[in-house]
A and B are shown apart, each in its own frame.
Chain A
């Protein structure tokens, strides 16, 4: 909402407060100042001065040293560069402390060794339209020492954000009331004639929807002349950024911004019979003033006439054909109270909003309805002529929305930390227009519907008292750490490990596109109906809740490829969302970790070759997250992916691994294979639980034996591991694969065979093994391999 300081000053004496001071005052009253627009001169410290003397500057050719009379008793020396004046001229003089148009603050200065105590100003420097080149020469009748701003049209417009609980501030009168309370200055009385009103017959005003409109008033003014508004009225509207239209419309707009009560003027000639305030018929059509067409519903409220036509969408917008035109001679002026909820629903549903609906949906002061009407009538008669032949017709009654509220001194004291006395708190409430009753309760002014409970009064006290005046206290109850704390700590360990392993952490949007679902690699495959879709997505790109982190990582990686990134090493941790069992279990949220590796694993340098990341890099990475656990991939097809595997750690399912289909990689312009894994974060955290008791170190040395095995090329390594894990040789404590050899040419080895070399480690806990014992154990291991896999040893 926009407020003009000149307009505001008609309601109270701002006491020469600077814009900055008013800004602070409003800010700490809870009204956010979002912008300040200055027109003309605002500073009080720019005054009329007469140039009494001007001599050349001893050290600068282009400058002159002047002595000016700024009405301070003595003369003031100011260095000046302009030449367009004569001694005796009156010019604007910015005294030290004055703020010029650009926010520049004038001080005292020494210019080339000559003292200069202020600045003589040009029109541009004052923020006025450019004049001649040089100083602004003021008329000779200007009074020396007077602020120059008074000679020019100047104003400040504040752009304010009023919180939804304070509709009473949505007018100049309302804002002035608040400032008067804060500044402890009186409000100026307003010159509003008293209203002669009479109860409207149902044939004049029929209130068919008293819940939505408890009070409706109308007054007929005949013989008006539609024309441009007088200058003062235009200026008021322009000062808050409104465009003047004609005298009638301008008066209604003026009253709205003056008092906060929206009004509507109908062209009486276009009405047939009396006013009917009723709910719309389902499907009733309405053509609004802004030429938009609407199909109404029974919840909407319309102002209609006896003919049944909807003339206005109550409180929101007038109809295209019922408003004031240059040909209008008689008008019907509406001032009413509409219930906020209904206006809000209609405004939202029809996407129509206006200064009127903005105020009605927040709540206007029901007791101000007739006052606004009276003020508007007075102004219309003054600007458009005409006569009022009948009294104002009133249907219904103003609802009473406030009630007496108690202020609990003990609770107030406790909440404020003893920083304010009860007397001071009561003084604040009194200033805000509340009155203490004999029974100790507080009567609330009708415009403050927001003050309903004890705590609402406390808020008023806290707001005006200011948190700056409340002491700070540093203390708190001891509370135990929660399971979430444990999970958070484990996640940070994992994050730091992944970063130390050279991965970048990503943060992707949790709403993804339908087309990205193909990249999803959830722990359990999605069934039909498992995807959670938002009802009204912002765009197709953000339509479904991510069931997996992989699509986001793939998109991030693809984006980096477009920026020529060579090494793609990413991870993300976070929530994934799905239904399960084909939509049976709803809205499941779980947490996963996803990793993506592609491209350069070790970049080429002067001493090393480039190497592209492969699946074993990703497997190694997972193993590094859970040290001491045996991490294995066990193939399981995943639709839409290549090389799908379950990831296991010590035989526990930890998640899934896959490579993007090569076709998908090409589609996204990847030049190297893209490997992804998605792991169950809950399980990972448990594996991270840490060391229990430490194991004793081996007391006796062990021995190792190597074996090279000749195997079918197609035999998975996992089969060797399976045999070894099950062979139950107590002396075999570890084994490792150290070579895999194949020869596709078939020269050194048939093309369908491979040679796999393993090293086996043997040790006993209680003695040094003899060579024969080691040999015997080794033979048992080899025998098992030969028996189960038909291995030939080389």
Chain B
């Protein structure tokens, strides 16, 4: 019995050594340790071993099983190691990438979101209004004289109904103040329309960002601080900002704002980015008449408003030379914003 145990062990170890893959190794394991395996069968014979020899034979059997199991485990590790190496060998990591579709937000969305982000951080909330407006909200309430050039059919799109496509987002100022008492602190991004022929610097429909802050004691220092902060956030803290006196019917005093920027390959220059001013008391008067109350008493509240062209900001930010690129949606252009 002892001899046959030794023989089984020797043969099993030889088979294990010879195994070339996990399947041959499994065959070797079954042949020795399986239900009908050679060692299993011999183990079953221990009941016939005389009592005094049982301990010794048992020890021998255990030793054989331990040795075979250890050899099986070692061989399995070795085989897996080989297989893993083979699996990793010869992979060319330098082949080109798999092409996944890539998309992008439109530059106008990017500049609008950045601008809105800054202004919301400063405590402005969003507002909106219709693009098909009436003359009251687009002109009358904004202190625009009845014969102002902007009201001309050659400069503004009208409809047979007498309504028009708003020429600026400033109409949202009126809409908001009609429905909301002070304090009002809003921004309104949106489209505006002018009857301009489309060329490299003009679109008949363009994008604006309007702002309005009305409260007791809003003053020129508030206007200046707000817009300086905004432009510094947008163009960099060291960007020089200047306010030039200007004229708008619905603000007084009014200013245009320039930032000093150095565009690629050009000397630094002042670039106009926004218009702003203190809300003209005539606008508050119109709101009060429309609201039929005195919520916007010019003796009690003051405010400032500002507006800027988002298309223009995008053109400045990315050096876009032709505004039409913003509406043509050429993938070769859009891809650059991915």
Contact = CB atoms under 8 A, between A and B. Distances in A.
A120 interface: no
Contact of B152 (A166, A348, A414, A605): A348
A577 B131 contact: yes
A559 B330 contact: yes
Contacts of A28: 244-245
B127 interface: yes
B115 to A, nearest CB: 12
Nearest to A577: B132
A691 interface: no
A478 B163 CA distance: 35
A504 B103 contact: yes
A556 interface: yes
A37 to B, nearest CB: 18
Given A474-B229, A482-B127, A462 B328 contact: no
Interface string A575-605: 1010000000011010000000000011101
Interface in B308-333: 326-332
Interface stretch (A185-193, A388-396, A531-539): A531-539
A586 B161 contact: yes
A435 interface: no
Interface stretch (B32-40, B44-52, B94-102): B94-102
A507 B160 contact: no
Contact of A480 (B106, B125, B146, B252): B125
B126 to A, nearest CB: 4
A345 interface: yes
A507 B329 CA distance: 7
B326 A536 contact: no
Given A474-B225, A533-B159, A499 B329 contact: no
Interface stretch (B9-17, B65-73, B76-84, B215-223): B215-223
A63 B221 CA distance: 58
A453 interface: yes
A485 B123 contact: no
B185 A476 contact: yes
Contact of B109 (A32, A505, A508, A603): A505
A462 B106 CA distance: 40
A45 interface: no
Nearest to A29: B245
A603 B163 CA distance: 48
Contacts of B142: none
Contact of A504 (B100, B245, B331): B331
B19 to A, nearest CB: 35
A88 interface: no
B120 A485 contact: yes
A502 to B, nearest CB: 3
Interface in A7-64: 27-30, 32
B242 A535 contact: no
Interface string A499-519: 111111111111100000000
A569 B338 CA distance: 13
Given A163-B247, A506-B329, A538-B195, A455 B280 contact: yes
B159 A605 contact: no
A605 B98 contact: yes
A532 B98 contact: no
A476 B330 contact: no
B158 A535 contact: yes
B51 to A, nearest CB: 49
Contact of A416 (B96, B152, B220): B220
A699 to B, nearest CB: 36
B205 interface: yes
Contacts of A508: 327, 329
B246 A482 contact: no
Contacts of A510: 131, 191, 193, 205
A438 interface: no
Contact of B99 (A476, A587, A602): A602
Nearest to A495: B105
A479 B106 contact: no
Given A414-B219, A458-B253, A511-B204, A534 B157 contact: yes
Nearest to A557: B329
> Which has the most chain B C-beta neighbours within 10 Å: A499, A534, A538?
A534
Interface in B19-36: none
Nearest to A604: B99
A532 to B, nearest CB: 7
Contacts of B203: 509
Interface string A456-499: 10110011000110111111111111101100100010011011
A417 interface: yes
Contacts of B123: 476-479
Interface in B133-160: 146-147, 149, 152-154, 157-160
Contact of B219 (A166, A473, A474): A473
B8 interface: no
Given A507-B106, A534-B158, A606-B96, A164 B330 contact: no
Given A463-B253, A467-B220, A473-B225, A505 B106 contact: yes
B286 to A, nearest CB: 15
B255 A536 contact: no
A313 B185 CA distance: 49
Nearest to A413: B219
A758 B191 CA distance: 49
B132 to A, nearest CB: 5
B176 to A, nearest CB: 9
B185 A477 contact: yes
A505 B281 contact: no
B58 interface: no
B183 A477 contact: yes
B109 A495 contact: yes
Nearest to A559: B328
A463 B222 CA distance: 17
A565 B132 CA distance: 35
Interface in A70-97: none
A569 B252 contact: no
A770 interface: no
A560 B132 CA distance: 31
B224 interface: yes
A455 B204 contact: no
A782 B60 CA distance: 60
A341 interface: yes
A414 B247 CA distance: 21
B334 interface: yes
Contacts of A246: none
Contacts of A537: 157
B274 interface: no
Nearest to B163: A587
B116 A488 contact: yes
B219 A417 contact: yes
B103 A498 contact: yes
Contact of A476 (B197, B213, B327): B213
Contacts of B243: 467-468
Contacts of B195: 536, 538
A18 B123 CA distance: 44
B126 A502 contact: no
A472 B225 contact: yes
Nearest to A484: B126
B329 A560 contact: yes
17 contacts: A29-B245, A30-B246, A468-B243, A479-B124, A479-B125, A488-B126, A492-B113, A504-B334, A506-B106, A535-B160, A538-B195, A556-B329, A559-B330, A560-B330, A569-B103, A575-B191, A577-B131
Given A534-B157, A589-B131, 8 more contacts: A32-B246, A165-B247, A419-B221, A470-B221, A485-B125, A499-B104, A532-B159, A607-B98
A-B pairs, 6 with minimum CB distance:
A502-B101, A30-B245, A163-B247, A417-B221, A473-B221, A467-B243
Interface of B: 95-96, 98-106, 108-109, 113, 116, 120, 122-128, 130-132, 146-147, 149, 152-154, 157-161, 163, 165, 183-186, 191, 193, 195-198, 203-205, 213, 215, 217, 219-222, 224-226, 228-229, 242-247, 252-256, 278, 280-281, 302, 326-332, 334-335, 338
